[in-house]
């Protein structure tokens, strides 16, 4: 067997343990995408203050932005910071939306504690075959695998939200078949959320129509005690969109997922919710604002400090909504 960097050597926690604890205690583990150091530090700040478990998350395109070795070491350094401060909250490192076996293999080999293989654009049988191949490889190293059945509206793994997709609700029967035939550890399902920035009121008439809790209940009855995952759950507060547009940006008005819809999920089989856009949009808004107000600025620390402080508040709020605060 080839040598891999076993994730526990970096201090990362097993996704299976994180989600099983969430399932049994009725809370949801927040999974935060990070693409900057400010986001990563803000996540650490929120974890320490709220004493919440969490998952750090990057997509394959960030291999090019950071280099995968740097991603792993940055996440490791954040966990070491928590431990030095006396915080023992479990934290995982997750690959979001791996599109190929090779992208997932690379994450496993470099020390990620979990990977997602997204075959939702394939036929069910092709999706099962691809996911099973990733599971067979990852499970050799005790790395958990997330799959997906059903496709979300919006842009997966996109910064700008320009890719059009059709919302296909997850069929509970297909979900059950997928889970049983792949031995996947958790499953992302489509119940009415939307990826990226396509949560807009003017986007081809699309608006947020609510979550299909009935689909979640049916899957739970078919496959008891199996953890589900939701993507596309950012709330997209209007104040940040207005800030971007005030300072020479151009972003349409957005409709995110209301907090009250997410609060209801704590008693469901949903154990992990991904948050990405709620970190990107405020960061962009604050950067635009500070640079517009201080055109002489050449030191980025001014707006980076403000971004970290604002994101900490946002991430702590997510922990409250997901009922994960105090569960670490």
Share of the chain above pLDDT 90, in %: 76
Q: Kindly state whether residue 2 falls inside one of the protein's structural domains.
A: no
Residue 275 lies in domain: 12-321
Q: Kindly state whether residue 6 falls inside one of the protein's structural domains.
A: no
Q: How far apart are CA 36 and CA 287, in angstroms?
A: 13
Q: Kindly state whether residue 5 falls inside one of the protein's structural domains.
A: no
Q: Does residue 249 have a pLDDT over 80?
A: yes
Q: Does residue 66 have a pLDDT over 80?
A: yes
110 phi and psi, to 5 degrees? Answer: -95, 0
Q: Does residue 163 have a pLDDT over 60?
A: no
| Confidence band for 174, pLDDT divided at 50, 70 and 90 | very high
What's the whole-model pTM score? 0.92
> Tokens 């709330």 sit at which residue?
235
Q: Could you give the number of structural domains in the chain? A: 1
* Per-residue exposure over 213-243, b if at least 16 CB sit within 10 Å of its own CB, e if not: eebbebbbeebeebbbbbbbbbbbbeebbeb
More confident residue, 301 or 135: 135
113 three-class SS: coil
Q: How far apart are CA 71 and CA 195, in angstroms?
A: 23
Task: State the CATH number of the domain containing residue 166.
Answer: 3.20.20.70
Q: Kindly state whether residue 233 falls inside one of the protein's structural domains.
A: yes
Of the residues 45, 96, 118, 171, only one is catalytic, namely 96
120 three-class SS: coil
How many residues are present in the chain?
328
Q: Kindly state whether residue 1 falls inside one of the protein's structural domains.
A: no
Q: Kindly state whether residue 200 falls inside one of the protein's structural domains.
A: yes
Q: How far apart are CA 124 and CA 83, in angstroms?
A: 43
96 is catalytic: yes
């Amino acid at each position: 067997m080839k040598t891999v960097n076993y994730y526990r050597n970096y201090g990362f926690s097993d996704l299976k343990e994180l989600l099983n604890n969430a399932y049994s205690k009725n809370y949801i583990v927040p999974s935060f995408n990070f693409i900057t150091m400010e986001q990563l530090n803000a996540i650490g700040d929120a974890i320490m203050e709220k004493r919440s478990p969490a998952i750090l998350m990057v997509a394959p395109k960030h291999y090019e932005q950071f280099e995968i070795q740097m991603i792993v070491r940055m996440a490791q350094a954040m966990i070491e910071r928590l431990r030095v401060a006396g915080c023992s909250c479990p934290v995982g490192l997750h690959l979001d939306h791996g599109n190929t076996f090779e992208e997932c293999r690379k994450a496993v080999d470099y020390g990620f504690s979990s990977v997602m293989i997204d075959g939702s654009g394939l036929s069910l049988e092709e999706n099962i075959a691809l996911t099973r191949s990733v599971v067979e490889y990852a499970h050799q190293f005790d790395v958990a695998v997330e799959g997906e059945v059903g496709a979300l509206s919006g842009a997966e793994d996109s910064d700008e939200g320009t890719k059009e997709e059709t919302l296909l609700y997850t069929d509970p029967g297909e979900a059950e078949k997928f889970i049983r035939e792949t031995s996947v550890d958790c499953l992302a399902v489509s119940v009415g959320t939307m990826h990226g920035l396509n949560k807009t009121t003017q986007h081809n008439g699309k608006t947020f129509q609510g979550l299909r809790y009935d689909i979640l209940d049916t899957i739970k009855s078919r496959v008891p005690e199996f953890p589900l995952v939701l993507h596309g759950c950012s709330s997209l507060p209007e104040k940040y969109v207005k800030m971007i547009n005030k300072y020479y940006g151009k972003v349409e008005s957005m409709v995110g997922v209301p907090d009250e819809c997410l609060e209801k999920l704590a008693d469901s089989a949903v154990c992990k919710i991904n948050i990405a856009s709620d970190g990107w949009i405020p960061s962009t808004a604050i950067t635009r604002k500070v640079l517009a107000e201080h055109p002489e600025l050449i030191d980025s620390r001014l707006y980076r400090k403000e971004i970290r402080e604002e994101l900490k508040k946002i991430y702590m709020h997510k922990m409250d909504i997901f009922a994960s605060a105090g569960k670490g």
